[in-house]
Structures are given as C-alpha cells and as structure tokens.
Amino acid sequence: MTTLALSKAITAGLRKAMEDDPKVVLIGEDIGKLGGVFRVTEGLQKDFGEHRVIDSPLAESGIVGTSIGMAVRGYRPVVEIQFDAFIFPAYDQIVTQLAKLHNRTLGQENVPVVIRVPYGGGIGSPEHHSESPEAVFAHHAGLRIISPSTPHDAYWMIQEAIKSPDPVMYFEPKRRYWMRGDVDMDNRGLDVHSAQVVTEGTDVTLLSYGPLMPPAADAVAAAAEEGTSIELIDLRSLNPIDFDTIEASVKKTGRLVIAHEAPVFLGLGSEIAARITERCFFHLEAPVLRVGGFHTPYPGSKLEHHYLPDLDRILDGVDRALAY
C-alpha cells in the first residue's frame, strides 16, 4: 500500500501506462518541461522524451484533432485540457469526430483517445477555470466518462481509460488534487464503470462523485450523530452509469439525494432522478432530490463559497427527503 496525493496518483498511473505500452503518448499545453499547471505530468518528459510527452500550441481543437489522427494510426494519445472551460474550442472535434468515428466507420476504426479534464471550483481561480461540464459530454453517445474521487481510483482509472478501445473523458476534481490517500498498486478493485457503496445505511441513499465526495462523507458522519443512517455511493462512472447499484440501494432505503457540483438544472442528477423514479417508483418514500450548483455563470472566486454545494446544503437535502 502506498500513500499518494490524488494528482500524484494520476502521475503514477500515467507513468505505468507509458512503461507498459510505447504507443501511449501525452499531448497538451505546458505538460512537458513545466509538468502541467497542476504538475500532474511532472518529470514524464524528462524520462520518456519530447516525442512522447508533447508540448502543444495553445489550440485545443488542434490538440484533440491531432490526437484523433494519432489514434487512427495506432497510438494511444492522452490529452490534457488545462482547465475545464478551455475544452469548448475542441467541442466540435470531440462530439462530431471523436465520439462518432467508430460508429461512422461501422466499427472499423477505434479511437482510443483519453481527454483529461481538471474540473470544478474551489481553488480561487478566475473566469473559465471552474466549470463542471460533464453533463454536456454525457449527452453525446460514444464517449465514456469517468471521475475518480480517491487516489486509489485515480491511479487505476487512468490506466483503464488508456487501455480502453473507446474514447474516454477523464474528469479530475482539481480541488482534490492535494488530497492524500492509500493506493493499492496490486489490486484494482471495482470495475471502472461500477459505482461504489462507500458506506452502508438504511434511511436514505446519498449519491455523489468527484469533488463532492468529501463533504458527502462528512454528511454521513454528521447525520449519524443525530441517528440518521445514510448509504453513501460514489458514482465513479458518469457514462455509462451503474443504475443497478443505485437501484438496489434505493429499494433498501426508499430515498435518494443526488449531490454534484454542477448546476442542478439539466445536470447529471436530472437523468439519474428520472431513471430511478422509473425503476423504483413503488419503493420510493420521497421524490428523488438534487443538490448542486445554481443555474448561473460560475461566480468570481470571492463568491464561490456561496455557489459550491457544501455540508449544510447536502444535509438540508437529506432532511428534506426524510421529511416526506
């Protein structure tokens, strides 16, 4: 067992993938000599060379387009997008080319591209640096989307993403980059697309992922002090979604609260709420409730603590569910 920060667990996972497969190539802005703005690729160019850790021009559409061509030629490119909202210049390449090429060629072409996206707020950054656009991409068929919340998952999930024959968007909760935890280098654990029951409970199911998992865990502990038993689930895979694990939990507890940092309006929680209502209608003791960001542009850093869902807002969601 090794203890690593989440960012360094990703670094270790990238290193292992590059050692195992010489066709794995990293490409992005300032990822080489600088090691990326969050230093996730630090030291990799020195060890693997400039032909495998490529400092690109500032052109997200060009970066993704180049990676698609490399994938078709047999490489496994891993793209770094510096910050979440910087991805939109590459939106066309991702949703009209990357997501559809396998289908368009009737399965003859695989495009094993991984797009790493540091996402979410909480680091005091300026505009366009704190978005949560995961639902925008989950809407488009053809993209696998995963988000680790622990160093262990960060280490293993990046390797599984790189091995996948399909394009994978790997959303990294950047305000958790410095969170440390144990990494079992010998045992992957759950399949990359399985949700994880983190804490078992009986009164209400709390579902979250990525950056909100720490306050969700705090909510479990705080509620337990008042006699409420929360079952906590880490979604982990945002597309496909492991509805079976969620359904089994909700049939046990009768209640579901979904918490994510992205806006509640048309966020990932909307689809989950609709599906679970269909699948668990006669087991629900309360409507499925959602906790998330507001339907506004992400605010300046001095106001982001008002925007971001926190322990109190999650507990309020739990209380509302129990009040029915």
Q: Provide the annotated active-site residues.
A: 129
DSSP 52-107: TEEEPPS-HHHHHHHHHHHHHTT-EEEEE-SSGGGGGGGHHIIIIIITTHHHHTTT
Q: Is 122 helix (H, G, I), strand (E, B) or coil?
A: coil
Pair type for strands 144-146 and 237-239? antiparallel
Q: Strands of 230-234's sheet, edge to edge? A: 196-199, 230-234, 204-208, 256-263, 289-293
- The dihedral over CA atoms of 45, 51, 57, 60, expressed in degrees to the nearest 10, equals -90
Angle between helices 6-20 and 151-163 (to 10 degrees): 30
Tell how many helices (H) and how many strands (E) occur in the chain. 12, 14
Taking CB atoms within 8 Å and a gap of at least 24, the contacts of 263-266 are 263/132, 263/292, 263/293, 263/294, 263/295, 263/296, 264/290, 264/291, 264/292, 264/293, 264/294, 264/295, 265/295, 266/135
